[in-house]
């Protein structure tokens, strides 16, 4: 997490504001470019500002940006597509996000929903409790993986928002992140699998923290992580590995999973 914006309380006054900056949009695309706000409109947030409420049937970049922020609220064992289409799964995720923060669980992304996201979001689009550097201790430019640097960074952003949801569900206790994105050379140096999801920016390796490896592995099932490897799985007795990116592979035998 980096600098916090100086205020998040201008939202109601700028409901018609456009987007100032669009964060990386999806696991399969590079950064989005949003139109500049009009001269007389102030953005509600230094990262991204929504101008209208969103509900089922909506589509476009505003929906995609919302999906990134609620990616950690799918049905248990499921994942949310970051595709810019506000369908039933996105509606259900928005509802879970709202209920997790004591908002009205309508499934419609309204101003109160956006205000909560602004509160949880730093100026660089990362969630307040996680930092880009935690998800990349390999290099400074996200290059050298199995996807472009922009895509790796976009995928890591989704991973951070999933971790933010998981952290909140576990009592807002800090989650220790020991690593994330790896270039091919970094992956080789640590003996990673040739097609490790670290190479795509989808993965994070978690330390025990105050929760313990098993609690982390079990909770990750509820937050969009299709790959969870923990104690009892070869090479994972000293960390819990979580990753998105599709598919489902959970194994932490010592945790009963």
pLDDT (tens, 9 = 90+) of the chain, 257 residues, equals 544 444 433 333 333 333 333 333 333 433 334 444 444 456 778 999 999 999 999 999 999 999 999 999 999 999 999 999 999 999 999 999 999 999 999 999 999 999 999 999 999 999 999 999 999 999 999 999 999 999 999 999 999 999 999 999 999 999 999 999 999 999 999 999 999 999 999 999 999 999 999 999 999 999 999 999 999 999 999 999 999 998 889 999 999 99
- One of 202, 223, 236, 241 is an active-site residue; which one? 236
Phi (first) and psi of residue 177, to 5 degrees: -110, 120
Is 0.85 topped by the overall pTM? Answer: no
Residue-wise over 169-186: b if at least 16 C-beta within 10 A, else e? ebeeeebebebbbbbeeb
Angle at CA of residue 2, ends 69 and 215, nearest 5°: 55
How many CB atoms lie under 10 A from the CB of residue 40? 7
Residue-wise over 122-140: b if at least 16 C-beta within 10 A, else e? beebbbebbbbebbbebee
Residue 252: closest CA among 243, 227, 191: 227
CA distance 19 to 5: 16
69 alpha carbon, distance to own chain's centre = 6
CA distance 31 to 151: 8
CA distance 173 to 152: 27
Active-site residue 236, yes or no? yes
């Amino acid at each position: 997490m980096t600098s916090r914006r100086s205020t998040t309380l201008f939202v109601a006054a700028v409901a018609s504001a456009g987007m100032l900056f669009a964060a990386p949009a999806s696991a399969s695309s590079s950064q989005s470019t949003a139109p500049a706000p009009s001269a007389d409109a102030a953005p509600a947030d230094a990262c991204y500002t929504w101008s209208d409420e969103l509900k089922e049937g909506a589509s476009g970049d505003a929906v995609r940006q919302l999906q990134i922020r609620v990616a950690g609220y799918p049905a248990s064992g499921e994942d949310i597509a970051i595709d810019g289409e506000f369908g039933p799964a996105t509606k259900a995720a928005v509802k879970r996000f709202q209920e997790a923060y004591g908002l009205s669980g309508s499934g419609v992304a309204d101003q109160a929903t956006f205000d909560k996201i602004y509160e949880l979001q730093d100026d660089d689009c990362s969630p307040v409790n996680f930092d880009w550097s935690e998800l990349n201790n390999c290099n400074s430019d996200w290059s050298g993986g199995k996807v472009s640097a922009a895509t790796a960074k976009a995928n890591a952003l989704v991973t951070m928002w999933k971790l933010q949801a998981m952290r909140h569900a576990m009592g807002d206790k800090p989650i220790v992140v020991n690593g994330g994105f790896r270039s091919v050379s970094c992956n080789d140096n640590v003996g990673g699998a040739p097609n490790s999801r670290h190479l795509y920016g989808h993965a994070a390796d978690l330390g025990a923290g105050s929760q313990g490896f098993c609690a982390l592995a079990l909770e990750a099932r509820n937050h969009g992580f299709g790959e969870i490897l923990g104690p009892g799985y070869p090479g994972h007795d000293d960390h819990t590995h979580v990753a998105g990116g599709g598919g489902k592979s959970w194994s932490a035998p010592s945790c009963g999973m």
